[in-house]
Amino acid sequence: MVSNILEDKNYKELVSEQIKEIFEFLIHENQEFSITANVEATTFSPDLPDSIKSQLQKFSLFTLANYTYTTIVVDDEYISFEAGFGAENFGSLVKVPLHSVFQIVIDDSILYLNPVATVEKFNKKEEKKDSMSVFKNNPNNKRFS
């Protein structure tokens, strides 16, 4: 089944590398582009206000042009860029895992399509655990609960 391939960690890494190389090519060519990304795995710093965050769809379009384009950073795991949101142009650093990029778009044409971005197990944000929870989860520390 195709789900066996899409959910394979090695395939996810292969796709991430392809996406990274496409981004590097586009940047080298000075080509502005847009991405559709699975926002469930995307982080915003500072976090977006609820009034803006609630307007985002699970797969949201980000246009990387003008100032935003100049702030793009690509590494082995993420693409990040600064963007403004909402009527007040609320500024945030957007950090998208490469495997969560669903589409790369140029001039309303899809350049690349990534079905791995739809795989739920790869696109869940890791919940941060406070140190006390981690401490209490250690069986040797149960007496302190």
- Element (DSSP H or E) covering residue 52: helix 50-53
Kindly report, residue by residue over 42-51, the tens digit of the pLDDT.
999 999 999 9
**Residue with more model confidence, 142 or 48:** 48
The Cα–Cα gap between 11 and 63 comes to 27
Q: Domain residues for 44? A: 2-144
* Whether the predicted pLDDT of 141 surpasses 70: no
pTM: 0.82
Instruction: Kindly tell me the sign of the dihedral angle through the C-alpha atoms of 50, 54, 58, 63.
Output: negative
Kindly report, residue by residue over 53-103, the tens digit of the pLDDT.
999 999 999 999 999 999 999 999 999 999 999 988 999 999 999 999 999
User: 38: domain CATH number?
Assistant: 2.30.30.220
Q: How many domains does the structure of the chain reveal? A: 1
